[in-house]
Amino acid sequence: LLHSSFLDPKSHREFRYSRAELVESERFLRELRAFSRAKEAAGYSREELEETFAFLLFDKEEQAREVCQKGLRVNSSSISTL
């Protein structure tokens, strides 16, 4: 999935990954479920609420640790590569 999920098909030649890690946080999952329930109650369709994956590319492991601990919110980070 990681190697086939590029916005630009030519991008796969530009990236080399040392490893990928799946991060799951109970706190963030609870927030996501509550958000989804609220949106569903507001009339959002199943398609609009469908979950997808995102991959973040970090230059330093410390950046990844911080996002895993604090979460990633709109305008809360200088990270621009998603």
DSSP per-residue codes, 59-81: SSHHHHHHHHHH---TTS-S---
Residue 50 in tokens: 């469908």
- Given this model, what pLDDT does residue 81 score? 54
Note the Cα 19 to chain centre separation in Å.
16
Asked, for residue 32, whether it belongs to a domain, the answer is yes
Asked, for residue 44, whether it belongs to a domain, the answer is yes
The residue segments making up the domain with residue 35 are: 23-70
Give the number of residues written for the chain.
82
First to last CA, the chain: 15
In single-letter form, the type of residue at position 66 comes to E
pTM above 0.85, yes or no: no
Using only C-alpha atoms, the chain has a radius of gyration, in whole angstroms, of 15
Asked, for residue 3, whether it belongs to a domain, the answer is no
Asked, for residue 75, whether it belongs to a domain, the answer is no
Number of domains in the chain: 1
Among 3-7, 24-28, 33-37, name the most confident range: 33-37
Examine the pLDDT at 5 and tell me if it is beyond 80. Answer: no
Asked, for residue 5, whether it belongs to a domain, the answer is no
Asked, for residue 55, whether it belongs to a domain, the answer is yes
